[in-house]
Chain A
Amino acid sequence: MLRGNLKLIIGLIMLAIFLVIAIIGPSIAPYGINETAKMEYVTTKQGGTLMAPPFPPSKKHILGTDRWGYDILSLLLYGARFTLFTVLIVSFLRVAMGGLLGFIFALNKHALDRPKNKVKVNIFSGLPIFIFIYFILYRINLQPVMRPVTLTIIAGVLMVLLGVMNVYNVVYGKTIEIKKNLYVTAAFSMGGSRWHIMKKHIWPAMKSQMLIIFVNEMIQVMHLIGQLGIFNLFLGGTIVQMDPPLAISVTKEWAGLIGQFRSSFYYSRWIIMFPLSCYLLLLLAFYWVAQGLIKREKLIQRKQPFLS
């Protein structure tokens, strides 16, 4: 399965590392989640200076600290589990629910049924998905009274519900395509039950497709939480400070950290660089897995174009 497929191998290894980090993260974090580095008085050759956070990367703080002195490496280790598990669980539920519905409806569709003409443009055509979550969660996510886990679950449920339709459409379309094959028609006319057709003809053809859809959904969910983070709606709650106006992530989830540190863009760049790189690496892992899977799929179903 993996032979010669470098992208798939590297992607899976990276994902495994991220999973391990997400599970054991808090226990290997060098500092506590509420531990801050204090101002220091450093004596150098030129004389003494008062050092205040943010501290740049050093031996004491490998990835530096933010402006309140929180160790960035620790924040990332604490937040990893929220990012990774939300992405995994939400996309799994999307694929499971959307896929199941897609299979059921496609299998029960009779060949003579009129194709449904879908309404292509509606009032929501011009609105991105995150806007729905934004409006629903906006006021309960700011200064939260619910527990971070509860808020994350609410956001997760919304993300699942808003994404199911997409998966359903893809699975439905592909299943209908497979059903058109002659061997499926033959199996039907031989008296094969729907369950039999599903098990013997459709699932084997759709297996690898479902995996690709799953990985693509993970990428979509990462985009979604990232976009929410940019609008200061962090998974698990946002604490707002008025003076100066700042939004702080409760769970230290990665997309939230990016949103939170966005303002440190022009002076102390390392603060935003490290969460950004972590997020990008996770995305890259998903991307390579997806690319590897697609490549494997293409090798199986190779056709030759007549014109180069």
Chain B
Amino acid sequence: MSSLKFIIHQILGVILLLILAALPLHFFSDGSRVVFQPYGIVEEIKRFVMGLWSGESLYYFQGDRSRFLLDDLTSFFLSSYMYLTVSLLAVVVLALILGIWFWKKSEQWLNSFLGFIGFLPDFILILLLQLLLGFIYSKTGVKIAKVASFSTDDPAVFLPILTLTVLPLFYLVRALNEKTFEVLTEDYILTAKSKGLSKRYIYLVHVTSNVLPFLKADLYKIVGISISNLFIVEYLYNTRGLTELLFEYPTHFGYQYNLVVITLFSFLALYVGTLFTIKLFLFLAEKIFMRFYFL
């Protein structure tokens, strides 16, 4: 029953996505009135699904040239994946350190003015960072990092990763802080303390192992937040990635339904891929830690 529900849920999601991607073609204003063509949407979806069988949907046009979609998609995908994974690994490691072991310090920081940074929207943070670096450059002539990529051979790396790290980090540290506080009020901590266990031991074994499940449960949300930041990051820093296919290509080469749909689908792959990479990392870290600490 529940697997049937799962399948229906996913199929409905796919249909909704197919309709959504067709809307810019069949729901528009033509200068004097708003046009909505529901049959056009059905036709579009039909053509796309048929095209999948014949392989036609896997080709798109760059101007007059027809190109194989999956070739180009892979490189864009890998670029997005690298940015996302590297920054998320940094987020998880830093959140463990700041959110659990230094929860008191980080709570103070979050309650001070620094906490406001965590509430800034991604695009504001990026604009402010670019403005700041521009200001420093104009005053001192020091280039700290690239404010945007100007070519594919010379991409901006530091600022995109920094932005992708900062925002989920604030969210996660805040969440872990609360959980750590809650765990520390539990009776088993009092018991451990009264047994004379050292503070370090209690933190490493009792607190961490009780907070970690929340971190794992929160990963679904964290990766979601990160991807939504990735959209803005790639767009504003002009780095290579999946969003380029979504926003830049339609303006240069016209809106191509199959290109947009397949790109949207690959965001799911990006989500799942990143999620499992992080889960694998946590799993391995836990195993290694256990091995060293208890043997």
Residues of A at under 8 Å CB distance from B?
Answer: 117, 119-132, 135-136, 138-140, 142-146, 219, 222-223, 226-227, 230-231, 258, 262, 265-266, 269, 272, 276, 279-280, 283-284, 287, 291, 303-308
Check A287–B119 contact: CB distance below 8 A: yes
Check B232–A227 contact: CB distance below 8 A: yes
List chain A residues, Cβ under 8 A from B32. Answer: 145
Check A222–B185 contact: CB distance below 8 A: no
Give the total of B residues in contact with A, Cβ under 8 Å: 64
> Can you name 10 A-B residue pairings with CB atoms under 8 Å?
A120-B220, A121-B220, A125-B272, A126-B272, A128-B224, A145-B29, A145-B33, A227-B121, A283-B121, A306-B185
Name the distance in Å between A148's Cβ and chain B's nearest Cβ.
Answer: 13
Name the distance in Å between A62's Cβ and chain B's nearest Cβ.
Answer: 21
A308–B13 CA distance with the chains assembled, in angstroms: 47
List chain B residues, Cβ under 8 A from A130. Answer: 228, 231
Chain A, Cβ-Cβ closest to B228 = A128
Name the distance in Å between B52's Cβ and chain A's nearest Cβ.
Answer: 16
Name the distance in Å between A82's Cβ and chain B's nearest Cβ.
Answer: 18
Name the distance in Å between B150's Cβ and chain A's nearest Cβ.
Answer: 13
B59 interface residue per 8 A CB criterion: no
B116 interface residue per 8 A CB criterion: yes
Chain B, Cβ-Cβ closest to A307 = B184
List chain A residues, Cβ under 8 A from B227. Answer: 126-128
Chain A, Cβ-Cβ closest to B8 = A119
Check B181–A305 contact: CB distance below 8 A: yes
Check A143–B121 contact: CB distance below 8 A: no
List chain A residues, Cβ under 8 A from B24. Answer: 135, 138-139
B34 interface residue per 8 A CB criterion: yes
Check B124–A276 contact: CB distance below 8 A: yes
Which listed residue, A140, A219, A308, touches B29 by the CB 8 Å rule?
A: A140
In addition to A130-B228, A230-B232, 14 A-B residue pairs with Cβ atoms within 8 Å of each other are A119-B5, A119-B10, A122-B9, A122-B13, A123-B17, A125-B223, A125-B272, A127-B227, A128-B224, A138-B23, A145-B34, A305-B189, A307-B184, A307-B199
Q: How many pairs, one residue from A and one from B, have CB atoms within 8 Å of each other in the complex?
A: 143
Which listed residue, A120, A145, A219, A291, touches B31 by the CB 8 Å rule?
A: A145
A135–B207 CA distance with the chains assembled, in angstroms: 45
- Stretch in B43-51, B91-99, B127-135, B279-287 touching the partner: B127-135
A145–B247 CA distance with the chains assembled, in angstroms: 23
Check A287–B29 contact: CB distance below 8 A: no
List chain A residues, Cβ under 8 A from B34. Answer: 140, 145-146
Check A230–B265 contact: CB distance below 8 A: no
List chain B residues, Cβ under 8 A from A279. Answer: 124
CB-based closest 6 A-B pairs: A128-B228, A126-B271, A139-B28, A305-B184, A126-B267, A123-B13
Name the distance in Å between A99's Cβ and chain B's nearest Cβ.
Answer: 21
B120 interface residue per 8 A CB criterion: yes
List chain B residues, Cβ under 8 A from A304. Answer: 185
Check B181–A119 contact: CB distance below 8 A: no
B245 interface residue per 8 A CB criterion: no
List chain B residues, Cβ under 8 A from A223. Answer: 121-122
Check B193–A284 contact: CB distance below 8 A: no
Check A307–B271 contact: CB distance below 8 A: no
B278 interface residue per 8 A CB criterion: no
B290 interface residue per 8 A CB criterion: no
Check A307–B202 contact: CB distance below 8 A: yes
A136–B23 CA distance with the chains assembled, in angstroms: 6
List chain A residues, Cβ under 8 A from B10. Answer: 119, 122-123
List chain A residues, Cβ under 8 A from B212. Answer: none
Name the distance in Å between B22's Cβ and chain A's nearest Cβ.
Answer: 9
Task: Given A123-B10, A136-B23, verify A308-B104 contact (CB < 8 Å).
Answer: yes
Check B185–A305 contact: CB distance below 8 A: yes
Chain A, Cβ-Cβ closest to B229 = A128
B20 interface residue per 8 A CB criterion: yes
Check B123–A123 contact: CB distance below 8 A: no
B73 interface residue per 8 A CB criterion: no
Task: Given A291-B115, A307-B189, verify A280-B220 contact (CB < 8 Å).
Answer: no
B90 interface residue per 8 A CB criterion: no
Check A127–B189 contact: CB distance below 8 A: no
A283–B268 CA distance with the chains assembled, in angstroms: 31
Task: Given A126-B270, A135-B20, verify A227-B122 contact (CB < 8 Å).
Answer: yes
Name the distance in Å between B229's Cβ and chain A's nearest Cβ.
Answer: 8
List chain B residues, Cβ under 8 A from A132. Answer: 20
B262 interface residue per 8 A CB criterion: no
| Most chain A CB within a 10 A radius of its CB, from B124, B202, B236 | B124
Check A125–B17 contact: CB distance below 8 A: no
B14 interface residue per 8 A CB criterion: yes
List chain A residues, Cβ under 8 A from B275. Answer: 121
Check A119–B184 contact: CB distance below 8 A: no
Name the distance in Å between A90's Cβ and chain B's nearest Cβ.
Answer: 16
B171 interface residue per 8 A CB criterion: no
Check B247–A287 contact: CB distance below 8 A: no
A247–B27 CA distance with the chains assembled, in angstroms: 20
